[in-house]
Amino acid sequence: MSAAAGSIPPPVSWAQRSDLVYVIIDVECKDIEQKVTENSFSFKGVNALDASKKYEVTLNFFGTVDPEKVTSKNIGRCLEFTIPKKASGPFWPSLTTDKTKLHFLKANFAKWRDESDDEEGDAKDNGMFGNFLSNSGSDWNNKFDDFNVDDEEEDSDDNIPSLSQNDDEDEEAGEGDKKPAA
């Protein structure tokens, strides 16, 4: 990673698949210059809201990429670069060859996909709720056949035993024998 004097590295997030890498510059920029080589990614830009903030960063990739097939999208709040790997294969342990953690570089888990997820393709595993949520054709009216709101049974509270000793004494004494409360 390198930055010129007077410029700072922008917030960068990244994610990968077996065949490509996403690099997202998480700031609104204008006067954008980017360059992708087989082993590196360079970016320069000026903050769209504050022209005194200049951003610059160079990332040395862990593996090789195909610079001819790079695509980019300016989403307004960020710039998203889709960079195909030279060869589809094992996941990189990190984006860069740097041994130290870069304070501005973070994983983008919204775009992230693990190696095990990649093998399954786009089929999503929703865990134990996967089949439950995908059963849209099932008849929900038959799921609760035993539950009938219209049954008029006697009030179920009548059969609950008393929890207070005073209630038991009052019932034994009868209505006319009640003592006034002191």
Give the pTM: 0.60
CATH code (residue 37): 2.60.40.790
Structural domain tally of the chain? Answer: 1
43 touches 57 (CB < 8 A)? yes
Give bridge partners of residue 65 from the DSSP assignment: 85
Q: Which pLDDT belongs to residue 151? A: 56
What pLDDT is stored for residue 109 in this prediction? 84
**pLDDT at 54 (0 to 100):** 94
Expressed as residue numbers, the domain containing 59 is 1-90
Residue 64 lies inside a defined structural domain of this protein: yes
Residue ranges in the chain modelled with pLDDT below 50 = 118-130, 132
Q: What is the structure's pLDDT at 123?
A: 42
| pLDDT value of position 128 | 45
Q: Is 26 a domain residue?
A: yes
pLDDT at 181: 61
Q: How far is CA 65 from CA 31, 99, 155, in A?
A: 25, 20, 73
Residue 103, pLDDT score = 92
In a domain, residue 33? The reply is yes
Q: Please indicate, yes or no, if residue 11 is contained in any of the structural domains.
A: yes
Q: What is the pLDDT of residue 168?
A: 56
Residue 58 confidence (pLDDT): 94
In a domain, 137, yes or no: no
Q: CB of 53 within 8 A of CB of 46?
A: yes
